[in-house]
Structure 1
Amino acid sequence: MDQAVIKPTIDIIVCASMKNSDDSITKPSSCSQSPPFLTKIHAGYFFISLSFGAQALLWKSLSEHNNESQTLWHGFNLMPSVAYLLLWCLAVFIATILSFLYMLKCILHFHAVKDEFSHHIGVNYMYTPWISYLLMLQSSPSSIVPRTRYYEFLCLAFSFVIFLLDVKLFGQWFTTEKRFLSVVANPVNLVSVIGNLVAAQVATEIGWNEFAISMFSLGMVHYLVLFVTLYQRLTSNNQFPIVLRPAYFLYFAAPSMASLAWKSISGSFLISSKMLFFLSLFLFLSQVGSIHLSLSTISCQF
């Protein structure tokens, strides 16, 4: 029964159209039956546009403090403002290309998208397009994307998609025996937490405070449950692929995003935001320390 639950870990990276481990054994050349370019495109590639959108939002936040001459960010006045615009344009350009390619995959190879959605790791990547869209909207220059009702509609639409994904994912954890969280929990599940927190921050910006609080509370409860589940997971559970080990850094990305989201909701950087920030800093140091110890162990072996 354990073999039926555990799916091939390389599906999401190479070929998401493989539905189970038996197919990967009996049909090793199933990827070659379809154009490899589209079948290898999965939702995880939207992490590229997500990262550029987050960087653009960071530069936008720094530029907003440039008018305060006595602040720590006064040195950023020397940096050209065109860098922020270039980052945002690059994020939009990458997201547009990836969205076009993924739509082609949905049309031409819908079975591959369906199998990706049913995968216990791949389903978490479905959050990344909508998170990147929200970050690009939030970091967009007001001269290019005016804060009108259309802007609010897009923010709510993308946030609602994240909410629908939550309903689908949480429903599987509660009702489906082979999808219990204790069985399928992995660090990539934290992407859904970040999606809820980004949606909460964007909802606060457009004035939907009640919706922002609901998304924030949903994300934080989800994070606590995931943190405890992943912390005490058994060795008999699904092994996380080595190639996806960088996803462990999502442990501190979630509380860091929660700190920013609560700062937006409360209007100031209060104690709760500081607690979340220091938690993310501690988890970051823990991750860095574990990497240092691993490298030291490897060097001692040689």
Structure 2
Amino acid sequence: MKSSGIYSQALLWKTLGESPPRDAHAIRRFVSLLPSTAFALLWSIALFTLALLSLLYILRCLLHFQRVKSEFLHHVGVNYLFAPFISWLLLLQSSPFIAQESTYYSVLWWVFAVPVIILDVKIYGQWFTKGKRFVSAVANPTSQISVIGNLVAARAAAQMGWRETAICMFSLGMAHYLVLFVTLYQRLAGSASNNLPEMLRPVFFLFIAAPSIASLAWDAISGTYDNVSKMLFFLSLFLFMSLVRIILSQLRRRRIEFE
């Protein structure tokens, strides 16, 4: 998910540079003054990076299939399988060369969105059918990556004018986000979220990513940044402030222990 930053930046620069109004924010006016080649270069670098990472992962699937299989069966590792498709969908939405109304855009959307749906069925289905795989036992912050995948696909579908498809993906993502949100706030002793390794603690910032992407997705679906989009944005802002407070308190505690 760390590598998704460059693809998100490409999408951000495209959004800021698209037909800015006269009373737009100063940052948006500044972006509109940059040459189009600068954005094309950024997008090309992102494309090259993602293509290289995808090639390396394909080689891993061929050469170390058992490791990939173990990731697919692991309650944390399986969520990271969404990351390549999320990155490709973000890169598709920020493309300066493929029109959103073109056939190529539609075909690529299906190529990247279908694996997200398949993984949804795998993850969400096991919560209902497999004995120890209940959501209260296996839910962890990385589970929100699946939600982000649905919301990114919903935004891409809305930009093509596929409103019903976008609403379907959005409702699927938000329904499971609400389940995860409540579950992770009411963690049971011994649950997966409590036993998350320290090296994966930065994924707690996914609490911010999900409502932020949901805000953008609903903006694309409704055609305007209405109250629903604003509520989702303020939710992400509140979660960000909460995480910052927790981090500062932990740093203060460690400094006291060190002294």
Question: What is aligned with 1:101?
Answer: 56
In structure 2, which of residues 210, 218, 224 is the aligned counterpart of residue 268 of structure 1?
224
TM superposition shift of 1:263: 0.6
Contact 1:50 1:91 (C-alpha < 8 Å) held by counterparts? no
Aligned-residue CA RMSD (Å)? 1.4
Which segments of 5 or more consecutive residues in structure 1 lack a partner in the other structure? Answer: 1-46
Map 1:26-175 → 2, pairs under 5 A: 47-66=1-20, 68-72=21-25, 73-141=28-96, 144-147=97-100, 148-175=102-129
Give SS of 1:235's match.
Answer: coil
- Residue type of the alignment partner of 2:14: K
TM superposition shift of 1:190: 0.4
- The count of aligned residue pairs is 253
- State how far apart, in whole Å, the 2-side matches of 1:219 and 1:121 are: 18
TM superposition shift of 1:99: 1.1
- Residue type of the alignment partner of 2:184: L
In structure 1, which of residues 191, 212, 215 is the aligned counterpart of residue 169 of structure 2?
215
TM superposition shift of 1:276: 0.5
Question: What is aligned with 1:281?
Answer: 237
- State how far apart, in whole Å, the 1-side matches of 2:111 and 2:161 are: 15
Question: What is aligned with 2:208?
Answer: 252
Contact 2:13 2:31 (C-alpha < 8 Å) held by counterparts? no
- State how far apart, in whole Å, the 1-side matches of 2:154 and 2:55 are: 27
Contact 1:124 1:191 (C-alpha < 8 Å) held by counterparts? yes
Q: For each residue in 1:163-199, what CA deviation from the matched residue of structure 2 results, as whole angstroms up to 9, or x when unmatched?
A: 1110111111111112111111110000000000001
- Residue type of the alignment partner of 2:164: E
The yes-or-no answer on 1:240 pairing with 2:171 is: no
Structure number with larger C-alpha Rg: 1
- State how far apart, in whole Å, the 2-side matches of 1:115 and 1:76 are: 44
- State how far apart, in whole Å, the 1-side matches of 2:112 and 2:15 are: 22
The yes-or-no answer on 1:202 pairing with 2:202 is: no
Which segments of 5 or more consecutive residues in structure 2 lack a partner in the other structure? Answer: none
TM superposition shift of 1:84: 2.2
- State how far apart, in whole Å, the 2-side matches of 1:78 and 1:192 are: 36
Q: TM-score, normalised to structure 2's length?
A: 0.93
TM superposition shift of 1:83: 3.4
1:232–1:48 distance in 2 versus 1, CA, 3 Å:
closer
Map 1:181-192 → 2, pairs under 5 A: 181-192=135-146
- Residue type of the alignment partner of 2:131: E
- State how far apart, in whole Å, the 1-side matches of 2:148 and 2:124 are: 15
- Residue type of the alignment partner of 1:219: G
TM superposition shift of 1:96: 0.8
- State how far apart, in whole Å, the 1-side matches of 2:196 and 2:243 are: 16
Q: TM-score, normalised to structure 1's length?
A: 0.80
TM superposition shift of 1:250: 0.4
The worse-fitting range, judged by mean Cα deviation, of 233-242 and 162-171 is: 233-242
